Amino acid sequence: MSEDKALIDACLAGRLEAYEALVRRHQQKVFNVLYRFLGNYEASQDLSQETFLSAYQKLGTFGGKSALSTWLCQIALNKARDMLRSNGVNSLCEDVEDHGDTLVAADTTRPDRRAEQGQARERIQGILNRMPPHYREVLILKHLEEHSNEEIAAMLDETVDNVKVRTFRARQMFKQLFGELS
């Protein structure tokens, strides 16, 4: 985090290469959150770029109360929610099969294991795609991106208790949907 702070300070001092370093450092995490939330590769790439553009414009307002990655994911999720609202759909989840390997590196040493991992990823993403966005986002942030409840609360502008409740309800829904597919 102190490396992020140094890069932010350099960026605010006008050094563009510092912001490029911040982007390289966090772009995969931001893309993964968006792709898991939207399930659409191209839309996730576009929103990743928009996220970093917006972050660049607002970098002076970053207070450092949370990690930079938490702040960036908050911006990304807000952009994704705005896009879903403007499109009038709950999900763009359409191309996980085509780009699913982008999310998690598979164990390439065993082809049978790689196939199993791919099927499991597709099944999990399929269930997430069927969930309302407010449940999908907490599961992605908690279990796939491994953020703490405090970080999730900061990203979603919620209390920690609300995050815990929403996570519990999202897990219940996930279990129900998983059972329906079994």
pLDDT of residue 88: 65
pLDDT of residue 111: 61
Instruction: Spell out the per-residue pLDDT of the chain, length 182, in tens.
Output: 589 999 999 999 999 999 999 999 999 999 999 998 988 899 999 999 999 999 999 999 998 888 999 999 999 999 999 998 887 654 444 444 444 444 444 444 556 666 666 777 788 888 888 899 999 999 999 988 889 999 999 889 899 999 999 999 999 999 999 888 76
pLDDT of residue 97: 43
pLDDT of residue 76: 95
pLDDT of residue 91: 43
Contacts of 135 (CB under 8 A, 6+ apart): 166, 169, 170, 173, 174
3-state secondary structure of 70: helix
pLDDT of residue 109: 54
pLDDT of residue 27: 95
pLDDT of residue 100: 43
pTM of the model: 0.73
Domain boundaries, the chain: 1-94
pLDDT of residue 120: 76
The CATH architecture assigned to 1-94 reads Orthogonal Bundle (1.10)
